[in-house]
Copies of this chain bind each other. A is one copy, B any other.
Amino acid sequence: MQKINSKIQPIKLENDELSLLDQRVLPLSKKYIKARSYTEVTRAIKNMSVRGAPLIGIAAAYGIFLAALEYKKLEGKKLINKLKAIGEEIKNARPTAINLRWAVDLMLHEVASLDDTLEIITALKKRAIWIHEDDAQRCANIGRYGSKVIPKGAGILTICNTGALATGGIGTAFGIILTAHQYDPSIKVFASETRPRQQGAKLTTFECIENGINCTLISDTACGYLMKKGFIDIVIAGADRIASNGDTANKIGTYQLAVLAKENNIPFYIAAPLSTFDLSIETGDKIPIENRDEKEVTLINEGLICHPSTQAFNPAFDITSREYIKGIITEKGIVEGDYKKEIKELFNTSVIA
């Protein structure tokens, strides 16, 4: 099976130096931040140069490795204690990012029983690279399963950014698009702008351009019209959290697309790795929705778009009930029948396809 790569590499480790693509200045400029210390990595996570839950986790893992190099003069146990403190610091860079905590904990667990400094450093490097490659592999599998549901020459509508810029590999929903494109260059992507933060306009169109995929940017208001007019054959979105019944929290605007897809008889899919499922949550209405700063709505590129005394409301996510979702595409296959049962089964299968 041919390995599919994105032309975009948002994170690279070379000669113990980390290069992080500065996503704050994309797509107008393509600039890498060089990091040799964990503080530089933490800063990049904090100021959102690095974004996307899986990618943040990978950056954090490399950050722990860089920290070990910085403190390599400490003997084993002292180094581990130092790394534990640094781990807390890195975790606090984005307090709600679940992958960040998971990656830091995994790194520290890896070396908990070691006491030789060189051995610790070697183990940390290996584990950080593994976390990165493991995520890439999961993306590749999602892409492989998902590309099978893309019709020949399809018009594909997507929202937000779910590609290489958000993950350690080719992405989730976008990974499917990239994979499908390898076999069928005639597919057409329609990227919804995704206000307020405009990740569709800023990042998804950029990933399409870099990878030679035909892409058209549309306003979030035009999605329904394009569906009705027959431009769209399939809608694919990513996920931030999925309840055990299949209800899915994702970027604000996803629910609308799902309703419009249903009304126009267009299949609507979610693409996400198993780490996105939260089996402790039964239904979508139990998933907490973060309301973010209203300035994200009232300002664009730091310029006010409304009267200065305008109040705004900025829910960052919405919930799409499972009845709107034709299938959830994971690294272990597609869930598309009895969600509750099939999701449970996925977690009981230990082999990754």
Q: Which residues in A have some Cβ–Cβ distance to B below 8 Å?
A: 27-28, 159, 190, 192-196, 198, 201-202, 205-206, 209, 215-226, 228, 251-253, 255-256, 259-260, 263, 297-298, 300-301, 303-315, 318-319
A255:B218 contact, CB within 8 angstroms: no
A301:B300 contact, CB within 8 angstroms: yes
Residues in B whose Cβ lies below 8 Å from that of A202: 305-306
Q: What is the bound-complex CA distance between A228 and B284, given in angstroms?
A: 13
Q: What is the bound-complex CA distance between A93 and B128, given in angstroms?
A: 63
| Secondary structure dominating the interface of A | mixed
Scoring A194, A225, A301 by chain B CB atoms within 10 A of each residue's CB, the highest score goes to A225
B217:A252 contact, CB within 8 angstroms: no
12 A-B residue pairs with Cβ-Cβ distance under 8 Å, sorted by A, are A159-B221, A195-B221, A198-B305, A205-B306, A217-B312, A219-B220, A221-B251, A221-B256, A228-B255, A259-B260, A263-B263, A301-B305
Given contacts A195-B195, A255-B228, A310-B205, contact A297 B218 (CB under 8 A): yes
B218:A221 contact, CB within 8 angstroms: no
B310:A209 contact, CB within 8 angstroms: yes
B305:A259 contact, CB within 8 angstroms: no
Q: What is the bound-complex CA distance between A198 and B221, given in angstroms?
A: 11
Q: What is the bound-complex CA distance between A314 and B220, given in angstroms?
A: 11
A214 to chain B, nearest CB (A): 9
Q: Choose one: B216, B220, B309, B313; the contact of A195 (CB below 8 Å).
A: B220
A226 to chain B, nearest CB (A): 8
Tell me the number of copies of this protein: 2
Known: A28-B308, A195-B220, A205-B310. 5 other contacts (CB 8 A): A201-B310, A218-B313, A222-B253, A222-B315, A223-B256
Residues in B whose Cβ lies below 8 Å from that of A221: 159, 192, 194-196, 220, 251-253, 256
**From A30, which residue of chain B is reached at the shortest CB distance?**
B307
Q: What is the bound-complex CA distance between A314 and B215, given in angstroms?
A: 14
Residues in B whose Cβ lies below 8 Å from that of A300: 300-301, 303, 305
Given contacts A225-B255, A256-B260, A297-B193, contact A306 B217 (CB under 8 A): yes
Residues in B whose Cβ lies below 8 Å from that of A306: 27, 201-202, 205-206, 217
B219:A195 contact, CB within 8 angstroms: yes
Scoring A205, A303, A306, A318 by chain B CB atoms within 10 A of each residue's CB, the highest score goes to A306
Residues in B whose Cβ lies below 8 Å from that of A305: 193, 198, 201-202, 300-301
**From A206, which residue of chain B is reached at the shortest CB distance?**
B307
Q: Choose one: B217, B252, B253, B260; the contact of A298 (CB below 8 Å).
A: B217
Residues in B whose Cβ lies below 8 Å from that of A312: 216-218
Residues in B whose Cβ lies below 8 Å from that of A297: 193, 217-219
Q: What is the bound-complex CA distance between A219 and B27, given in angstroms?
A: 22
**From A306, which residue of chain B is reached at the shortest CB distance?**
B201
Residues in B whose Cβ lies below 8 Å from that of A192: 221
B311:A217 contact, CB within 8 angstroms: yes
